[in-house]
Amino acid sequence: MESFIVARVIHVLGVVLWIGGVAMVTTVVLPWIRTLPQQENPVAFFENVEQRFARQARVVTLLTGLSGFYLVYRMDAWSRYLDPAFWWIHAMTLIWLVFTLILFVLEPLVLRDRLIRRAESDPEGTLALIQRAHWVLLTLSLVTAAGGVAGSHGWSFAVGPP
């Protein structure tokens, strides 16, 4: 049972660091960067901050995913993926997949270069696009986290008699 508790602690701390970092970037860093004078390169500044956070995000996202799948394995809870009442497990897995794809594939191989090229002609529009994307990801992540906490304590959207 001890490994289960350790996995749950790792999972929760991973989510706190990962989604907390996304919240910090979305609500503090990006709005602040958009106030920098035009002679500064706000997109390059954002890229510098984002790269530092991306290292942390890659590690905690990986730990969160590994610990989450271990928890499902230990509880033999694979059948929950077939039950709509456990929508939050689907959402957690989907959010993890989206961030993993962004952090490990899209950002380093595609997004970084495209955003830098786009920023050369439209820096303000590029920052606005980045901020909108972060707001979408943060909102989906917070709904998922809320659903995960409530669902793991017995709450669901189950319809019908109890």
Query: What's the pLDDT score for residue 22?
Result: 95
Looking at the structure of the chain, the number of domains it has is 1
pLDDT, mean of residues 133-145? 97
| Residue 119 is assigned to a structural domain of this protein | yes
Structural tokens at position 12: 């929760």
Tokens of 75: 């509880």
Residue 60, helix vs strand vs coil: helix
Size (the chain), residues: 162
Residue 157 confidence (pLDDT): 65
Helices 123-152 + 87-101 axis angle, to 10: 150
Q: Which domain holds residue 110?
A: 2-150
Would residue 124 count as lying in a domain? Answer: yes
Q: What is the pLDDT of residues 4-55, one digit of tens each?
A: 999 999 999 999 999 999 999 999 999 998 887 766 777 778 888 888 888 9
Show the tokens assigned to 135. 């707001």
What is the structure's pLDDT at 43? Answer: 79
Give domain status of residue 160, yes or no: no
Whether residue 11 is contained in a domain is answered as yes
Coil, strand, or helix at residue 159?
coil
44 assigned to some structural domain: yes
Kindly give the residue spans of alpha helices, DSSP state H, lying in 76-160.
87-101, 112-121, 123-152
Nearest to 65 by CA among 129, 5, 7: 7
Is the model's pTM score more than 0.95? no
What tokens does 133 get? 């994307």
Residue 155 maps to a domain: no
Distance of CA 114 to the CA centre of its chain: 21
Q: Which of 5-9, 35-39, 69-73, 115-119 has the lowest mean pLDDT?
A: 35-39
- Could you tell me if residue 145 is inside a domain? yes
Q: For residues 103 and 54, is the Cβ–Cβ distance under 8 A?
A: yes
Reply yes or no on whether the pLDDT at 146 is more than 70. yes
Residue 156 lies in a domain: no
